[in-house]
Amino acid sequence: MSPGQIAALVAAGAFVLLVLLLAIPLIKLGRTLDEATIAIRKAHQNSDPLFSGANTTITHVNTQLERVDGITANARAVTGNVSALTSLFTATLGGPLVKAAALSYGLSKAVRARRKSAEQPKKHSRRGRR
């Protein structure tokens, strides 16, 4: 054997060793990809019941929201009615009641002042004539 053939045999052996060393990680990577594919398939199969449950829940929520919209509309109508009633009361009875309250306050103050002045002795009832 010539030195070139020996070098070729050593190179071929090194290449075979390199291929064997790289084949092991490639085989493991292939197994990992197979497991990932199986996991994705299972997740896809299990997601259908989840999505149907979510759709059912959303349907119930929409039903409840429609009820809440109805309640809100009724509350808005009641608020408008109360506002109109308050305005009517203020326009009809508010003005006269305020005037009557002011009159009674003024009368009671005048009566108290008169009583107070009647109870106190007059200091300057007689003024000296000059």
Q: CB-hemisphere CA count at 13 Å for 19?
A: 6
At 23, the pLDDT band (50, 70, 90 cuts) reads very high
For 37-90, how does the pLDDT look when each residue is reduced to its tens digit (9 = 90+)? 999 998 888 888 888 889 999 999 999 999 999 999 999 999 999 999 988 887
Give the H/E segment covering residue 25. helix 3-89
